[in-house]
Chains A and B, each alone.
Chain A
Amino acid sequence: MSTKLYNIAHSRAGDKGNTLILSLIPYDEKNYELLCKLVTVDKVKEHFKEIIHGPIVRYELPNISALQFVCQQALAGGVTTSLVMDTHGKTLSYALLEMCIELPGG
């Protein structure tokens, strides 16, 4: 069965200069391993190909059952001088949650 990340996880976006930071936190900690397996750097890169132009690093935090994606060259130059609407990229947490994944066991 395919589902949006929105249905099983939540996310908050943060910014540092031109770097976008996205957390991905499953509602049920039992789904942490599943997210580790399915939400890979390549998948995030493909999902955000129109927005993220630099490398992406994924950090795993088993202590709080959460993932953190640190994405460079993602905010059109950064908060202070960019012409985009959402200069901080704050709405992009919900762009990540639009990603569809295949849940095991049909």
Chain B
Amino acid sequence: MKQKYKVRIGCGAGFSGDRLEPAVILAEKGDLDYLVLECLAERTIALAQKRKATDPTQGYDPLLERRIESLLPLLKKNKIRLITNMGAANPVAAADKIIGIAKKMGISIKVAAVTGDDVLVHIRGDEIAMETGNPISWSGQLVSANAYLGADAILPALQTGADIIITGRVADPSLFVAPLVHAFGWSLDDADMIAKGTVIGHLMECAGQITGGYFADPITKPVENMSTLGHPFADVYPDGRAMIGKIDGTGGTITLATAKEQLLYEVTNPYQYMTPDVSADFTTVYLEQNGKDRIAVTGGGGSKKPSTLKVSIGYKAGFTGEGEITYAGANALERARLAGETIQQRLNTQFPGLRVDYIGHTSVHPHSLANNYKPYEVRLRVTGKAATADEAAIIGQEVEALYTNGPAGGGGVRKYLNEIIGIVSILIDRNKTTSSVIVKSYEHQTL
């Protein structure tokens, strides 16, 4: 294969619920070689497994159809290859769905689904959870077990020449490392190059988080045109250097500050950022502003990939019930407190872990930071766990009953009921997973 001088990868989505149009703008105007959509959070896949269990043709990302419909003609026209983990719990069904969409739109397409992350059949239950130190079966009924696959699992899919590569659970940076390895012929054992690719992937994977979106603060970090926030692309060179930018005319900003925030995001050890591909050292990465909305990324190195893979285990953790009510005006906080204490007295025995929050006062930050602050409005929130949905619903009902039973002036009650899927993690020997690629094609016949 002819080695490329430069590869341009865009990231059009940074989580399952992300906006649709930034990816379309990237595909339309970005002059991309690859477009990545990262749509799979830790718990998303367990919820998708539940959908697959009730219908074997489901279990992929709920927004797959809308995203693919908006992108397919542009991918084809501009010869962009799409790499996405929207397959969630069912990459093969997702591939079938994409073929169906292509047929409807009259576009020839080749889709490669990557499977092998689902390792539930290998799980015995006595594996020790990293979070609790106890056997995973103690947590509850297990519903899913997905290993984080790496670039080595995505690479064979790229080698099929498919237009769209759809995966389930893979490490987010691997979605970017795989096309770089494919384009530049890097060795998967070249830890320094794979680490450089991983740094680029990590900077890109949250899309709008590096283009000023989640960064913005109107007082200290003002960002222009947030409503048309652009998503990033990276120009990557064969030696692992990269330039991160965004499409001219889109909102947002890319600066040293936005890049630094993203480089450190969710990193528990900057000396050893572990993925299935490498252990990357972020302490040798250098960032430099290189014109408006352009950041040059250099440096970065790594050491050998781990012999184990992380597996996310989903388990049934019962239900939560929740109720909210607002108090405003004179002594709003005192009345909210009286309401909270009233509910606690009524429910404490039935719901031992019952939690009472005062939204607008101390619901997210510690009490010590809210000293002497007298809010004009307070929203009382009461939440607790139960084994059944019926029991959990009692919490919302009790909050609603504050309407007539007081205290005075409560309004705007909302009740919520949710099933909880908990997540614990284990490590498994990477040789225990076998990934494979399933190719589906549609050839459009013109009459």
Q: Is the CB of A78 within 8 A of B131?
A: yes
Tell me, yes or no, whether B436 is within 8 Å of chain A by CB. Answer: no
Considering only CB atoms and an 8 Å cut-off, how many residues of chain B contact the other chain?
52
Q: Is the CB of A79 within 8 A of B42?
A: yes
Q: Is the CB of B366 within 8 A of A80?
A: no
Q: Is the CB of A17 within 8 A of B425?
A: yes
Main secondary structure of the interface of B (DSSP, over half): mixed
Q: Please give, as numbers and ranges, the residues of chain B lying within 8 Å of A10 by CB-CB distance.
A: 215, 217, 220-221, 257, 261
Partner of B365, one of A12, A23, A49, A92: A92
Q: Please give, as numbers and ranges, the residues of chain B lying within 8 Å of A79 by CB-CB distance.
A: 42-43, 423
Tell me, yes or no, whether B265 is within 8 Å of chain A by CB. Answer: yes
Q: Is the CB of B264 within 8 A of A23?
A: yes
* Complex-state Cα separation, A65 to B257, whole angstroms: 10
* Complex-state Cα separation, A40 to B215, whole angstroms: 24
**Given A51-B366, A64-B287: A80 in contact with B421 (beta carbons within 8 A):** yes
- Identify which of residues 226-264 in chain B touch chain A, using a CB-to-CB cut-off of 8 Å: 257, 260-264
Q: Is the CB of B359 within 8 A of A16?
A: no
**Given A6-B220, A25-B257: A68 in contact with B264 (beta carbons within 8 A):** yes
CB distance from B321 to the nearest CB of A (A): 10
* Complex-state Cα separation, A27 to B263, whole angstroms: 16
- Interface flags for B416-431 (1: CB within 8 Å of A; 0: not) read 0000111101000000
- Identify which of residues 1-59 in chain A touch chain B, using a CB-to-CB cut-off of 8 Å: 6-7, 10-12, 14-19, 21, 23, 25, 27, 48-51, 59
Q: Please give, as numbers and ranges, the residues of chain A lying within 8 Å of B425 by CB-CB distance.
A: 17
- Identify which of residues 343-391 in chain B touch chain A, using a CB-to-CB cut-off of 8 Å: 353, 355, 357, 359, 363-369, 381, 383-385
* Complex-state Cα separation, A15 to B41, whole angstroms: 12
Q: Is the CB of B364 within 8 A of A85?
A: yes
Partner of A64, one of B209, B285, B381: B285
* Complex-state Cα separation, A12 to B206, whole angstroms: 13
Q: Is the CB of B357 within 8 A of A85?
A: yes
CB distance from A43 to the nearest CB of B (A): 14
Q: Please give, as numbers and ranges, the residues of chain B lying within 8 Å of A61 by CB-CB distance.
A: 264, 270, 282-283
Closest chain A residue to B318 by CB distance?
A: A81
Tell me, yes or no, whether B138 is within 8 Å of chain A by CB. Answer: no
**Given A12-B265, A95-B366: A83 in contact with B320 (beta carbons within 8 A):** yes
Tell me, yes or no, whether B284 is within 8 Å of chain A by CB. Answer: yes
Q: Please give, as numbers and ranges, the residues of chain B lying within 8 Å of A12 by CB-CB distance.
A: 209, 214-215, 261-262, 264-265
**Given A18-B131, A50-B366, A50-B367: A83 in contact with B383 (beta carbons within 8 A):** yes
Closest chain B residue to A8 by CB distance?
A: B220
CB distance from B401 to the nearest CB of A (A): 21
Q: Is the CB of B364 within 8 A of A63?
A: no
Tell me, yes or no, whether A98 is within 8 Å of chain B by CB. Answer: yes
- Identify which of residues 79-98 in chain A touch chain B, using a CB-to-CB cut-off of 8 Å: 79-81, 83-86, 91-92, 94-95, 98
* Complex-state Cα separation, A79 to B217, whole angstroms: 25
Q: Is the CB of A17 within 8 A of B131?
A: yes
Q: Is the CB of B220 within 8 A of A81?
A: no
Q: Is the CB of B363 within 8 A of A85?
A: yes
Q: Please give, as numbers and ranges, the residues of chain B lying within 8 Å of A18 by CB-CB distance.
A: 131
Closest chain B residue to A24 by CB distance?
A: B264
* Complex-state Cα separation, A15 to B259, whole angstroms: 18
Q: Is the CB of B317 within 8 A of A68?
A: no
Partner of B353, one of A48, A68, A83: A83
* Complex-state Cα separation, A94 to B214, whole angstroms: 13
Q: Please give, as numbers and ranges, the residues of chain A lying within 8 Å of B384 by CB-CB distance.
A: 83
* Complex-state Cα separation, A81 to B384, whole angstroms: 11
Tell me, yes or no, whether B126 is within 8 Å of chain A by CB. Answer: no
Q: Is the CB of A63 within 8 A of B299?
A: yes
* Complex-state Cα separation, A65 to B256, whole angstroms: 11
* Complex-state Cα separation, A42 to B257, whole angstroms: 26
Closest chain A residue to B367 by CB distance?
A: A50
Q: Please give, as numbers and ranges, the residues of chain A lying within 8 Å of B353 by CB-CB distance.
A: 83
Q: Please give, as numbers and ranges, the residues of chain A lying within 8 Å of B268 by CB-CB distance.
A: 16, 19, 21, 70
Chain A CB count within 10 A is highest, among B270, B299, B357, for B270
**Given A14-B265, A68-B270, A80-B317: A91 in contact with B365 (beta carbons within 8 A):** yes
Q: Can you list 22 A-B contacts with CB-CB less than 8 angstroms, sorted by A residue number?
A: A10-B221, A12-B209, A12-B215, A21-B265, A27-B257, A49-B368, A50-B368, A59-B269, A64-B263, A64-B264, A66-B264, A68-B264, A80-B422, A81-B317, A81-B422, A83-B320, A83-B385, A85-B364, A91-B364, A92-B365, A95-B366, A98-B365
Please report A residues at the B interface, Cβ cutoff 8 Å: 6-7, 10-12, 14-19, 21, 23, 25, 27, 48-51, 59, 61, 63-66, 68, 70, 78-81, 83-86, 91-92, 94-95, 98
Please report B residues at the A interface, Cβ cutoff 8 Å: 42-43, 130-131, 209, 214-215, 217, 220-221, 257, 260-271, 282-287, 299, 317, 320, 353, 355, 357, 359, 363-369, 381, 383-385, 420-423, 425
The 8 tightest CB contacts between A and B, nearest first, are A14-B266, A50-B366, A23-B264, A83-B355, A86-B364, A12-B261, A91-B364, A81-B422
